[in-house]
Amino acid sequence: MRSAILVDTGAIYALADQDDTWHEPVKFFLEGSAHSLIVPVTVLPEVCYLINTYLGQQAERRFVAAPANGELTRPYCFRTFPDVCGFWKSMKTLT
């Protein structure tokens, strides 16, 4: 069984914000990791809120559109609960 890493809000936000202190360390760690990445579906709205608040609406739109645009590929591919696709679709509709 391959091990997995639970990725929380702070790590995803750090990836989105290049000025965040943790941006490079998190990016370096995830790029070098062969582990599966698990993102609880509850993290996604939190990340959207933080990105919108601190990086702006355009950045949030880019984040929401990223899976559909093929930008979240390994090492940034996220395994989440099955209803995450519904989340992305509904968020894309709102933006």
Give every CB contact of residue 72 below 8 A, 6+ residues apart in sequence: 66, 78
* 56 Rama class: left (phi>0) / alpha (psi -120 to 50) / beta: left
Is the pLDDT higher at 61 or at 19?
19
What's the pLDDT at 81? Answer: 44
| Torsional sign, CA 47, 36, 89, 68 | positive
Give the global pTM.
0.74
What's the pLDDT at 56? Answer: 95
What's the pLDDT at 22? Answer: 96
Give per-residue pLDDT as tens, 28-85.
Answer: 998 888 887 888 878 888 999 999 999 999 999 888 887 767 666 544 444 444 445 5
**Tokens encoding 11:** 């790590």
DSSP classification of residue 66: T
**Tokens encoding 28:** 């370096």
